Amino acid sequence: MPGAEVRRRPRQHGRVPQPLQPFLHDLVGQVAAPTQVWSRTDGQVVPRPDGAADVSGLVHADVVLLSGIEVSVEGDAGVPVAHRSLPDGREVFTALLRRLDAEHADTGDPRVRLDRTRDVQPGRVAEELVVSSTLDVGLRVAVEVALVPSGTAMGAVRQSGPVAPVEIAGTAEGTVTWSAEGIEVALAALGATIVERGARVVLRWELDLPARGAVGVGWSVDLDEPEPFVVAAPPEAYAEVALTGPDLDPRLAPWLARSVADLASLRLALPSAPGDVFYAAGAPWYFTLFGRDSLWAARLTLPLGLDVARGTLRTLARLQGRRDDPRTGEQPGKIPHELRREDLQLGGMTLPPLYYGTVDATPLWVCLLHDAWRAGIDEADVAELLPALEAALGWLTAQTEAPGAEGFLRYVSAGSQGLANQGWKDSGDAVRSTDGAYAAGAIALCEVQGYAYEAALSGAALLEGFDRPGAEALRAWAEELAERFRRTFWCDPSGSAEEAYPALALDGQGRRVDSLTSNVGHLVGTGLLNLEEEWQVARLVTSPALDSGLGLRTMATTDVPYAPLSYHCGSVWPHDTAIVVDGLVRAGLGEAAEPLVQGLLAASVAFDQRLPELWSGEGAPVPYPAACRPQAWSAAAAVVVARRAGVFGAEPA
């Protein structure tokens, strides 16, 4: 633009470049919690030439144990031509070995090929390699698999730190072993010659490939963790969902099937309670228990069954805060944010292994308990959790009475020892005004007040249903919160009621953070808004400024900070859209949700039925290149849409 100031980044002389999180949008991921494998679409895992850690490879319980997996035949990786996913979760990679067919090199006829089938199970990875030929003569071929053992923690991977080397314990009778972060690794390759070449372990087979025949070999890795921090949950037992009917959208069935399979692959438990299942938040970055994420995923997937809701509630109740600890954010009654193997170093921030920096997990825990109770969870299970319920409600009401809270549920930035923002939009730049200014002080997010209101009423119903005192006081507290919210949060820039909207937040000075965001949609169905206000929010979330056509933007295009590939200021998160759809349905405004439903269905096709964590808000299927997939609450979006379509019976009241 003529006359505009041009800003140039100064050159860095002698400075260490800032670490960049690896991208994974073009990788193939196979997940069987707590194990996962990420590779290129040709099946290869190629170490970075600069020696930095990458997400590609074999990952188990937040540790990369193989950072290189390269297959070749006679020194040739072949020409990749196909990749397909099998219904049982295996992946097949096909390459043509044209160099082995010199006679037909001048034609396009493929005569020799390699099919590589990878199977990932909890604690085990196996590959079958089959070389086949339609030549009229036999060949002598050498098949090699070059592996790079490592022991790199996921925190280092996210910052492109160096690959952590490991010491190979030796090769004997076709096996290789090493250990890292308390995980024992045993590599086996029947019939192979095993040699070490620098940092690589090379498996080699000399094979006779018959004329018009095939020959196969295989290798496997078994993982044992004597003292794990998470374990694989028992296999899922979801009933098969019948998807029939003339009015059912044909896009729904394949999307729901893939999503249910992805949810099954994310099932985890703690070793102290292996029967209490929860969903890992997402692969590969958040492959563990997350309070907010696991709660929302369990809540949105209640139509699939009650075991995950029960397990999530019980697991988080065991970890519920008992004392005040500023370092971890723990407070009595507070539900934690995340559980890790060890401290997570991320940029200039350090998160402890058990971290409580979340303002919304505690009310969401109460809401899930209530919804699971209404859905038919055993009353004995609810009764067992009543002390945790009372502690959570005590934390909730105490927060609004704290100095400076002014009657709202708030959080304060934890600085270098924790997350700057502690709602679901927890990136450092997520809470900004329409002019781009950053919010400061003790922040009260709009949707969190909705969660708090709903939790108070849900808690009151539970207390009353189990003959516990305190229900009326909670209802009175909730009504005061609603009136306070109505007086304080609503923005009306033009003086027109039709253009009014709830602010994203209040800052520490009580000023409105006046950007228009998807957060307002989370208020619908909580009860905090009256019917007229819910209709107004329904109009906002389906307006062109927020509805991208492929889901709900996190920030309106009319706000200065809007950027379509910003993590929280313009991108689309499918769980965010699904929560709003679910809220509209619960509020009796199901018809208003139709544009958002159609956007999710279109996105399911665009992203091959596996919705990633997020994507661009520009209205085209442009991936956010570091997004998790599968992501539990993204997969749960399919269940929300299926429930609205009547797949699981009547829509929720």
Q: CATH number, domain at 74?
A: 2.70.98.40
Closest CA to 335 of 313, 320, 315, 350: 320
Average pLDDT over residues 557-566: 98
pLDDT band at 17 (very low <50, low <70, confident <90, very high): low
User: What is the pTM (predicted TM-score) of this model?
Assistant: 0.94
Residue 268 lies inside a defined structural domain of this protein = yes
- What are the b/e assignments for 433-463, b being 16+ CB within 10 Å? bbeebebeebbbbbbbbbbbbbbbbbbbbbb
d(CA 217, CA 354): 43
Closest CA to 558 of 375, 436, 411, 473: 436
Q: Who contacts 451 (Cβ-Cβ below 8 Å, separation ≥6)?
A: 360, 363, 364, 367, 522, 526
CA 113 to centroid of chain Cα atoms: 36
Is pLDDT at 61 greater than 80 in this prediction?
A: yes
Closest CA to 219 of 188, 194, 195: 188
Note down the domain range covering 96: 28-224
d(CA 642, CA 584): 15
Judgement on whether residues 169 and 64 belong to the same structural domain of the protein: yes
**Residue 498 has what pLDDT?**
77
Please state whether beta strands 124-133 and 139-153 pair in parallel, antiparallel, or not at all (unpaired): unpaired
Judgement on whether residues 212 and 264 belong to the same structural domain of the protein: no
Beta-strand runs (E) in 317-374:
338-339, 344-346, 349-351, 354-355
In the block, residue with structure tokens 């009650």: 306
d(CA 516, CA 553): 10
Judgement on whether residues 220 and 235 belong to the same structural domain of the protein: no
Judgement on whether residues 219 and 317 belong to the same structural domain of the protein: no
Judgement on whether residues 203 and 237 belong to the same structural domain of the protein: no
Average pLDDT over residues 39-53: 92
d(CA 333, CA 570): 34
Residues 360 and 342: beta-carbon distance below 8 Å: no
CATH number reported for the structural domain that contains residue 640 in this entry: 1.50.10.10
DSSP summary character for residue 603 = H
**Residue 497 has what pLDDT?**
72
Closest CA to 335 of 375, 297, 367: 367
Judgement on whether residues 60 and 173 belong to the same structural domain of the protein: yes
| Token output for 586 | 């619960």
pLDDT band at 242 (very low <50, low <70, confident <90, very high): low
Judgement on whether residues 155 and 210 belong to the same structural domain of the protein: yes
Closest CA to 589 of 504, 518, 517, 523: 523
Judgement on whether residues 267 and 414 belong to the same structural domain of the protein: yes
Q: Any idea which of 195-209, 245-259, 343-357 has the lowest mean pLDDT? A: 343-357
* Total number of domains constituting the chain: 2
Residue 418 lies inside a defined structural domain of this protein = yes
pLDDT tens-digit map of 262-293: 999 999 999 999 999 999 999 999 999 999 99
The average confidence (pLDDT) of the chain is 92
Is pLDDT at 552 greater than 70 in this prediction?
A: yes
Q: Any idea which of 112-116, 145-149, 197-201, 511-515 has the lowest mean pLDDT? A: 197-201
Residue 342 identity (one-letter amino acid): E
Closest CA to 324 of 336, 332, 316: 332
**Residue 12 has what pLDDT?**
43
d(CA 44, CA 72): 10
pLDDT band at 4 (very low <50, low <70, confident <90, very high): very low
Residue 23 lies inside a defined structural domain of this protein = no
Judgement on whether residues 267 and 185 belong to the same structural domain of the protein: no
Judgement on whether residues 321 and 183 belong to the same structural domain of the protein: no
Is pLDDT at 630 greater than 80 in this prediction?
A: yes
Query: Looking at per-residue confidence, does 190 or 244 come out higher?
Result: 190
Residue 489 lies inside a defined structural domain of this protein = yes
pLDDT band at 83 (very low <50, low <70, confident <90, very high): very high
**Residue 605 has what pLDDT?**
98
Residue 346 lies inside a defined structural domain of this protein = yes
Q: Who contacts 328 (Cβ-Cβ below 8 Å, separation ≥6)?
A: 352, 354, 355, 356
Residue 381 lies inside a defined structural domain of this protein = yes
Cα–Cα separations (whole angstroms), residue 278 to 14, 225, 237, 260, 338: 47, 20, 14, 14, 12
Judgement on whether residues 514 and 398 belong to the same structural domain of the protein: yes
Query: Looking at per-residue confidence, does 76 or 174 come out higher?
Result: 76
Cα–Cα separations (whole angstroms), residue 126 to 55, 61, 119, 434, 447: 19, 18, 5, 52, 45
Judgement on whether residues 549 and 637 belong to the same structural domain of the protein: yes
Residue 217 lies inside a defined structural domain of this protein = yes
Phi and psi angles of residue 278, each rounded to the nearest 5 degrees, phi first: -140, 165
Residue 261 lies inside a defined structural domain of this protein = yes
SS3 115: strand
Q: How many CB atoms lie within 10 A of CB 202?
A: 17
**Residue 389 has what pLDDT?**
98
